Structure 1
Amino acid sequence: MERLSVKEILKCSQGSLLKGDEKYFINSISTDTRSLKKDDLFIALKGKNFNGHDFIRNAEELGAKGIVVSEDIKNVKDLKFEIIIKVNDTLQSLKSIARYYLSKFKNLKIVGVTGSNGKTTTKDIIAHILGKENKVLKAKGSFNNSIGIPLTVFELNSSHNVLVLEYGTNFIGEIKELVEIASPDISVITNIGRTHLEFFKNERNVLREKMDLINGMKEDKTVIINIDDKYLVTILNSIKGKKILTYGIKNNADINAVDIYDLGERGFKFILRILDKNVEVNFPLLGMHNIYNALAGVSVGFTLGVDINVIKEALEDFKIDSPHRLEKFKIEDILIIDDSYNANPESVREAIRVLSDISGKRKIIVLGDMLELGDKEVEFHKEVGVLVKNYNIDILITLGELSENINLGALESGMSDKNMYHFDNKEGIVNLLKNLLKKGDAVLIKGSRKMKMEEIVLKLKEILRR
């Protein structure tokens, strides 16, 4: 982070200085005392389940230079901080400071990624391609909300010329709020699927929310669209005043992957076509959906002038940077595929396809509940069970109340109940796998974030390595 004066912070946050001097400077900002460093400015955020004001003493002990608060603090001037700023709303102030700080980087290109699935992997691929020729800052993991985006922005310094951000959403209007912090020069929408339907009700509302990324852009900026997505293809004619670039596999687009050949555990080989130029690519990631993610990354690279051969090199040496997204591990000749970060009907379908295409004596899938799906949650879980049977998965293991419907869907489709198990705890699954797995097996583990399915992966790896 480049330094900010207290005067600047007061102006953009509309705060009052309770202690300190406007001429003081801040070199880093934190919202979490668990990662706070000496001389940080600690912004005490408030949420449904936490209140940063409860950790002010911690921040003091850790050597924070100053604090930003919205509550009255007893004996505030007796605190050891050099700077104390009072604001009406600390979250709004965090966003305002980030917006102001970002405005200082006049020559920075901002790439924004949203979509129902593949945002983080796409973001990582984009950053990897652009990083071959640029100084790129990308959001860590899934830093994609009103806290994560400002914290990413604060990592910018004068060496960066590209910023790659991910825009997530859990409620109507969230992306609009995020775009007000950082309006992208290039927007990518990966796809529209059945995510967060508890809040959005249907895919059309999901589409409207994702469209706010485009609506918040300035004129003459670039929009990148997956032309194979049945919802996104409907908005092409409604995008006005912006450049449009399309990518796809099934339909003719500006950027296509053709002649795709599945290499099993080694990923895919395909011909990358960028307008009138072709190049063969050996892409190491599993899953057809990751070819779409790659094409999104290619589209951004092309937009910013990266040569096709440099793009090829980037795709071929790309490694998964964000954990629990189709990560592969082989232990004692047993293949573990960790896709435990999150789950919804579309991403689970793709995971089942991946497992089905993997060579193995037996294909075993461990699935946790898919959450936030609204009124059709039972139906969606049953659909997954049908897919498990139709893709010839050998053994089905489920965790959680909703996932019992996965077993039911598989059973109704003709899968033998001798090949399916259901548990209400992770320990039972780990013990089953310990006794069940044999050399040559392939096991895939997936579930919604709150199910914490990665705990099964960690225990399983620990057991197999003994």
Structure 2
Amino acid sequence: MRRFTIEEIVRATAAHRVHHNATLAPMRVVTDTRSLEHGDAFLALRGERFDGHEFVADAFAKGAALAIVDRAVVSMADRPVVEVADTLLAYMALASAARARFDGHVIAITGSSGKTTTKHLLSQLLRARYGNRLHVTSANENNEIGVSKLLLESHDDHDVIVVEMGARKYRDIHALVEIAQPHFGLLTNVGEAHLEIVGSRERLAETKWGLFSTGAAPLLNARDRVSQQRAATLGQLPHWYDAMDEDRDDIVRAPFTALIRDEIVVHRELNGRPRRARTELFLPGHHNRVNAAGAAAAAIELGFRLDELAELMPTLTLPEGRYQRHEIPDFITIVYDAYNANASSMRAAIDAFGNENGARHIAVLSSMAELGDESERLHELVGEHLQPAKIDEVLVGGEYAEALERGALRAGFPRDRVWHFTDNHAAALWLLERTKSGDVVLLKGSRRYHMEEILDEVLTACGI
């Protein structure tokens, strides 16, 4: 983890008040007293439900050498203190200073869906070469605090940093990119996630496109409409990626990385011949094949050989909460994919689920969140995506259950095959009472609806 002298802290944060009369050794900067070690600097972040200033006394009691604050605290009397205008901005400034010390490669990943999965797949590829010299965003810590923490935790032994970036409001990605200064930027797609917060599709596209605001070399999903429309504005050739069921003669873009059936194909030069290597990929769903192609494209940019990637592809697995199978002996198989949801990921999960082997296919769908004025329409589109030939029963719940039902009925579902559930307990009871051995069940919806409760209740009832 990076360490700073008090002079470096004052300079990076543009502190307006400094109080100390002791000689301080270079310090780590931490924001959680639970991970604080003797001699650390404690930076008091604040949020909607917490205020780090309330823990300053605890930090000093645990051996903090310095407090970084943006308001006076009684417990700071006669203690080493740096006072700044805003502690979050100070934390980001220190992260930027940490990034300036890093000499390796930085790869940033964002998108409306698939960014955490793509990060996870890329990390598995890179770990095979770099081992502990790889530094990766933990879980989904992808906001200003998470990105700053990642950079501050880097050290000289790291060769590559993979940073996931999420947007909670308009132009958020620009701010994160300014801190991380990525060499490569991988954009999975621009969909509908966070429309309610960002305000419009154009503002959402502009926010995601901020990934390239400092000149990162672009890696783009060849199927993403926004990327197709905006690619010409980049000033450099993007590295496109895709997954396809068959070779296509109309692919004229290069560089291009594709997974085509049982091959990985890399087309580096427009007039050159593509290179190929046989491989296998054991990930469910076409959307995850596309994510894997994106991970492969990023690895190629870091100099991975084609044969190296072909050997690693069969070892790739999905992160927790993404299309996880839970097989209950002599009963049903549940596919849990409710880490999060937007219209694109809902449709992708439904497509993958429709290809599962099973006696009957039962889709349990909760609503999506943060879609703004388009909520009703997007839920109807998801419902319309359900194919009666592939899905036997549909359970709908959440705020937009009726919109999901309207779409399903429009897709041709008989009304007696669409069911409403009022809460997760009701959905679990329906599954326990009405499913039969050999059935497969999909659980998909926004995290807001805690669909893991359905999974847990069914597994517990079955003694698992």
| TM-score, length of structure 2 as denominator length | 0.89
The answer to whether residue 223 in structure 2 is matched with residue 222 in structure 1 is: no
Q: Which runs of 5+ in 2 are unaligned?
A: 245-249, 268-273
- Alignment partner of 1:117 out of 89, 113, 118: 113
Report the equivalent of 1:133. 129
Change (3 A) 1:426 1:30: farther
Aligned-partner Cα distance in 2 for 1:448–1:84: 42
Mapped contact 2:112–2:189 kept (Cα < 8 A): yes
Deviation at 1:164, TM superposition (A): 0.4
Secondary structure of the structure 2 residue equivalent to 1:272: strand
The answer to whether residue 227 in structure 2 is matched with residue 232 in structure 1 is: yes
Deviation at 1:163, TM superposition (A): 0.3
Deviation at 1:19, TM superposition (A): 4.2
Aligned-partner Cα distance in 2 for 1:391–1:7: 68
Report the equivalent of 1:157. 155
Deviation at 1:151, TM superposition (A): 0.9
Aligned-partner Cα distance in 2 for 1:451–1:30: 33
Report the equivalent of 1:428. 426
**Which has the larger displacement, 184-193 or 18-27?**
18-27
Report the equivalent of 1:87. 84
Change (3 A) 1:463 1:61: farther
Q: What is the correspondence of 1:400-439 to structure 2 with a 5 Å cutoff? A: 400-439=398-437
Secondary structure of the structure 2 residue equivalent to 1:131: helix
The answer to whether residue 248 in structure 2 is matched with residue 247 in structure 1 is: no
Mapped contact 1:111–1:184 kept (Cα < 8 A): yes
Secondary structure of the structure 1 residue equivalent to 2:228: helix
Aligned-partner Cα distance in 1 for 2:175–2:389: 41
- CA-based RMSD of the aligned residues comes to 2.2
Aligned-partner Cα distance in 2 for 1:258–1:100: 39
Aligned-partner Cα distance in 1 for 2:366–2:391: 16
Change (3 A) 1:325 1:66: farther
Mapped contact 1:352–1:391 kept (Cα < 8 A): no
Report the equivalent of 1:263. none
Change (3 A) 1:387 1:136: same
Mapped contact 2:36–2:64 kept (Cα < 8 A): yes
Report the equivalent of 1:18. 19
Choose between structure 1 and 2: higher strand proportion. 1
Q: Partner amino acid for 1:113?
A: I
Mapped contact 1:116–1:193 kept (Cα < 8 A): yes
Report the equivalent of 1:103. 100
Q: Partner amino acid for 2:37?
A: K
Secondary structure of the structure 2 residue equivalent to 1:424: coil
1:437-461 CA deviation, whole Å, 9 max, x = no partner? 3321211112122222223233333
- Alignment partner of 1:369 out of 356, 362, 367: 367
Aligned-partner Cα distance in 2 for 1:160–1:331: 42
Secondary structure of the structure 1 residue equivalent to 2:74: coil
Aligned-partner Cα distance in 1 for 2:56–2:422: 39
Q: Which runs of 5+ in 1 are unaligned?
A: 261-269
Q: Partner amino acid for 1:125?
A: L
Deviation at 1:214, TM superposition (A): 0.8
1:340-395 CA deviation, whole Å, 9 max, x = no partner? 11111111000100110101111112222111111121121122222224563122
Report the equivalent of 1:272. 264
Using the aligned pairs only, state the percent identity. Answer: 28
Q: What is the correspondence of 1:152-301 to structure 2 with a 5 Å cutoff? A: 152-217=150-215, 221-240=216-235, 242-249=236-243, 252=251, 253=253, 254-257=255-258, 259-260=260-261, 270-275=262-267, 276-301=274-299
Mapped contact 1:20–1:84 kept (Cα < 8 A): no
Change (3 A) 1:446 1:416: same
Aligned-partner Cα distance in 1 for 2:141–2:183: 19
Mapped contact 2:108–2:165 kept (Cα < 8 A): yes
Secondary structure of the structure 2 residue equivalent to 1:283: coil
Deviation at 1:67, TM superposition (A): 2.8
Secondary structure of the structure 2 residue equivalent to 1:388: coil
Deviation at 1:61, TM superposition (A): 5.6
Report the equivalent of 1:36. 35
1:270-328 CA deviation, whole Å, 9 max, x = no partner? 211012211122112111011111111111111111111211222211122x3211122
Mapped contact 1:353–1:391 kept (Cα < 8 A): no
Deviation at 1:258, TM superposition (A): 5.3
1:321-340 CA deviation, whole Å, 9 max, x = no partner? x3211122222153222211
Mapped contact 1:434–1:460 kept (Cα < 8 A): yes
**Which has the larger displacement, 11-20 or 150-159?**
11-20
Change (3 A) 1:186 1:258: closer
Q: Partner amino acid for 1:237?
A: A
1:407-437 CA deviation, whole Å, 9 max, x = no partner? 2322344323333322332222222222233
**Which has the larger displacement, 188-197 or 398-407?**
398-407
Mapped contact 1:386–1:409 kept (Cα < 8 A): yes
Q: Partner amino acid for 2:265?
A: R
- Alignment partner of 2:339 out of 341, 348, 361: 341
- The aligned length equals 446
Secondary structure of the structure 1 residue equivalent to 2:109: strand
Secondary structure of the structure 1 residue equivalent to 2:170: coil
**Which has the larger displacement, 223-232 or 408-417?**
408-417
Aligned-partner Cα distance in 1 for 2:43–2:460: 39
Aligned-partner Cα distance in 1 for 2:321–2:21: 45
Secondary structure of the structure 2 residue equivalent to 1:223: strand
